[in-house]
Amino acid sequence: MDPTTDLAAARLTAFLEREPVLWLSTVGADGSPNLVPTWFAWDGASIVIVSKPGARKVRNVAADPRVMIALGDPDDDFDVGMLQARAEVLPGATPAALPAGFATKYAERIAALGLTQAQFAATYSTMLRLVPSRAIGWHGRSRPASVVEAARRIAASVAVSIDEPGRERPGWRTWLGEPLASGLRGLTRPSGRAGLAAAI
């Protein structure tokens, strides 16, 4: 398996566990696209989103379950990740208690809105479940063909003496691209979870 595929999955898992907002892209029955930011909860296998029943994203998912997700901070040298997923509108209304992971993640933000969790659940009473099908690698401003190729570039680079201040040795960010160099921090998968790699 291409090591960049595993890296993409590991990085996306880290994004899903720490990001407060994702961008959800859906397509309507007439083919028109829709892109919205939304709160979400990740349980290690699927993404849960709660929504107002009449929201366009709900109608779009009902018409076409294929969706795309983007996470991360583009201001941090395009440190982002993308996922393809299949979505479904779960039947029935959201119960008075929000899904556990969602309620825990957004308790303070919901309270800051002046709402109880029951009030929030009553307003955002439709639940969407998204199951990732493919993690898409994104390596910022530059992208080596593979991690192996990046290592070859580093090995082939010319050493620079401290007596040659006019020449700078290219660093990890130059060879690995952004955010691949900084994305290595997300490789450790939390114990006890199947993780994104298993989901795809």
Q: Which helix (H) or strand (E) holds 151?
A: helix 147-156
**Domain presence at residue 130:** yes
CA distances for 186 relative to 15, 62, 105, 114, angstroms = 8, 33, 20, 35
**Domain presence at residue 86:** yes
pLDDT at res. 154 = 47
pLDDT at res. 182 = 46
Number of CB atoms found within 10 A of residue 115's CB: 15
Nearest to 23 by CA among 83, 64, 77, 75: 83
pLDDT at res. 76 = 60
pLDDT at res. 149 = 54
**Domain presence at residue 79:** yes
pLDDT at res. 14 = 86
Q: Is the pTM of this model over 0.85?
A: no
**Domain presence at residue 51:** yes
What is the chain's alpha carbon radius of gyration, rounded to the nearest angstrom? 20
**Domain presence at residue 160:** no
**Domain presence at residue 150:** no
**Domain presence at residue 158:** no
Taking only the tens of pLDDT, the chain with its 200 residues reads 234 456 677 788 888 999 999 999 999 989 999 999 999 999 999 999 999 999 999 999 999 999 999 998 776 667 788 999 999 999 875 566 788 899 999 999 999 999 999 999 999 999 999 999 988 866 555 454 554 554 555 455 554 444 444 445 444 444 444 444 444 444 444 444 556 655 55
For 94, residues 6+ apart whose C-beta sits below 8 A from its C-beta are 50, 121, 124, 125, 126, 127
pLDDT at res. 12 = 86
**Domain presence at residue 162:** no
Note down the domain range covering 19. Answer: 3-141+180-199
**Mutual orientation of helices 147-156 and 3-18 as an angle, nearest 10°?**
110
Residues in the chain: 200
Question: Contact, 133 vs 200, CB < 8 A?
Answer: yes
For the chain, how many structural domains are there in total?
1
Structure tokens given for 106: 């957004």
CATH of the domain at 129: 2.30.110.10
Question: Contact, 14 vs 61, CB < 8 A?
Answer: no
pLDDT at res. 77 = 64
